[in-house]
Structure 1
C-alpha cells in the first residue's frame, strides 16, 4: 500500500487552539464570518470586547424560544450564548462549551455584569472537547496537576479517572 501522510489530530487541534487563543487577545478579522442577526437588540448588553472577538459562523440564536436549554458548541467569547440567554429567559439555560481557556475566560469575565443587565443568570461556560462532551476537562486538569503522568501505570490511572469523570460528571 502507498504510504499516506496523515496530520495527527493533536497537531490540528493545537493549531486551532493557538489561532483562537491569539484571537482572544487581539481582534483577528480573518477568523470571522460576517453574520446578519435578526434580533440585533440582543447585542445591546454585550460588551464590545466580546463583540470584536466573536468568530462565529451564522445566527443560531433565531431558533431559541423561552424556556429552552441551549448548548453552544465552540462558544468562544460567548456572544451567541449571551444573545440566547435573553431569548430563553429566566426559565431557560445556556451552556457554552469550548476547549480554549483564553476564550472561556473572556466569556466568563462578563457573566455577572450581563446577568445584572438582563435581570437573571442562566449561562454556564464549560471547558470541553466537542468530540468528547462527556469528559469534563477542568476536573481532569485538576486531577492531572495532583497526579502527573510519568509512567505507563500513570497513563492507566489517567484513563480510569477520565472514564470515572465521564460516568459521574458528564
Structure 2
C-alpha cells in the first residue's frame, strides 16, 4: 500500500497545475461528494476538548444530548477512535463502499445522487460498521450509542456540508 501511495504522490508532483485542475474537475463530476473532502482540507477540525467531565480519552467533543455524551472509556493514548482497526473498519473508503454496495443490493436501494448524499451514506455505513465491530449483529430496533470520539472522527472524515447531523435515534 505504501509503495502504491508513493507512486501516486510522484505522479501528482509531476503534473502541472492545469492538469491537476482538470483532474480535480473530472473527479468532482464523477464523485460529487469528493468536493466536500477538498473543502474540508482547507478547514481545521475543532480540537478535542479536555474540559468534558464525561470524557476519559481526551478526544470527545460536546454532543447534543446526555445519552450521546459517551466516551470510549480508554485513556488518552488508547482511544478507540485512534486504533488502526477503527481506521480500517470505519474510515476506509473502499471498505465502506463495499459495505454500502452489499447493503444496497440486499435492500434493493439506489446510490446517492445529490452532492452531500455520498458523505451521509459513508457516515451511516461507518456507524453501522462500528456497531458491528464492537457489538456484533444487534437485530432490528436494538441500538447502541457510539462514543463521541468515534462519532466525531467519522464526521470529520465524512462531513455534512451544512453541519446537520441526525445523532442517536433511540428505539421506538
Q: Which has the higher strand share?
A: 1
Do they superpose with TM above 0.5? no
Q: TM-score, normalised by structure 2?
A: 0.25
